[in-house]
Amino acid sequence: MTPVPSLPTISQLWIYPIKSLGGISLSEAQLSPRGLQWDRRWMLLDAQGNFMTQRQIAAMALLQVELGDNALRVRHSQKNMEPLSIPLQQQEGAGEVQAPIWDDTTLAWYVGREYDAWFSEALERPCRLVYMPEESERTATGKWSGQQQKVSFVDEYPLLLIGQASLDDLNARLQAPVPMNRFRPSMVVNGSTPFAEDTWHEIRVGELRFWGEKPCARCLVTTIDQQTGKAGKEPLQTLSRYRRLGSKVLFGQNLLCDSAGTLRVGDKLEVISYKPDPLKG
């Protein structure tokens, strides 16, 4: 009898409550209408009102975030600063703004001057902290599924999936291996072949449904050591040799979802349908 191949398994779940700051590893995560609960619901704006990321300010990697029952706790990993506590339940008390995020603008609330002062000191430049309320109407539309979903302050799609085998394949080509946190995934899976996720279209985890909509084009953030805040050339230099499509370097699969529920480390992932490999035409 031919053995039934085992299904890939979720091995890591991550959220990034404040865009471009440190991520939080979870054993289980709630799937909400915008993606994983609390993921990228806060964002920093600079003095000109532009959104801030590690692309321009690598030191943002040094701000680590923890999730409590009622608040986020933010600390600077290298400065002797009192940690900052940010209530999870936000109120429209400090005004609102149409916050820019790439080609979009979306409703956001200012969180408060005391939070702006903490981040301004931590990053040594003027900052304003904003929050995305439920009233915000920012959306993403799927290329393959046609699904439309509300999103937070993510770059484009609400979820990013990466196979552990894909990172293992990359690390086998590098002189110094890099950790998964360079790629800021939402979900990591074990038990697939390298870059199998490139061709996954419809995916199920229990009763939860997902669609692989677009390979993730990688940027300079992948070259920033998340422990030191220092940038180098890898892994983007090596990835560009074998994961390039036109001007883009691909690593990971962006997902949409249409369900609410709970994802857990250890859950099995079933691929229902496939799409063409983007690197093979």
Asked, as a colleague might, if the bond just before 276 is cis with ω within 30 of 0, I would say no
Across the range 166-172, mean pLDDT stands at 98
Neighbour-count burial of 193, counting CB atoms closer than 10 A to its CB (0-12 exposed, 13-18 middle, 19+ buried): exposed
Across the range 193-210, mean pLDDT stands at 97
pLDDT at 258: 85
Neighbour-count burial of 162, counting CB atoms closer than 10 A to its CB (0-12 exposed, 13-18 middle, 19+ buried): buried
Q: If pLDDT is split at 50, 70 and 90, which confidence band does 199 have?
A: very high
Across the range 169-184, mean pLDDT stands at 98
Closest by CA to 250, choosing from 274, 228, 277, is 277
Q: If pLDDT is split at 50, 70 and 90, which confidence band does 259 have?
A: confident
As a whole number of angstroms, the distance between CA 264 and CA 266 comes to: 6
Q: If pLDDT is split at 50, 70 and 90, which confidence band does 3 have?
A: very low
Reported pTM: 0.96
Could you tell me the residue ranges of all domains in the chain? 9-271
pLDDT at 273: 96
The answer to whether residue 232 scores a pLDDT higher than 80 is: yes
Sign of the alpha-carbon dihedral angle for 50, 248, 149, 140: positive
pLDDT at 2: 41
Residue 274, C-beta contacts closer than 8 angstroms, at least 6 positions apart? 199, 200, 201
96: enclosing H helix or E strand: strand 96-101
The answer to whether residue 9 scores a pLDDT higher than 80 is: yes
pLDDT at 182: 98
Under a CB-based contact definition with an 8 Å cutoff, are residues 101 and 109 in contact?
no
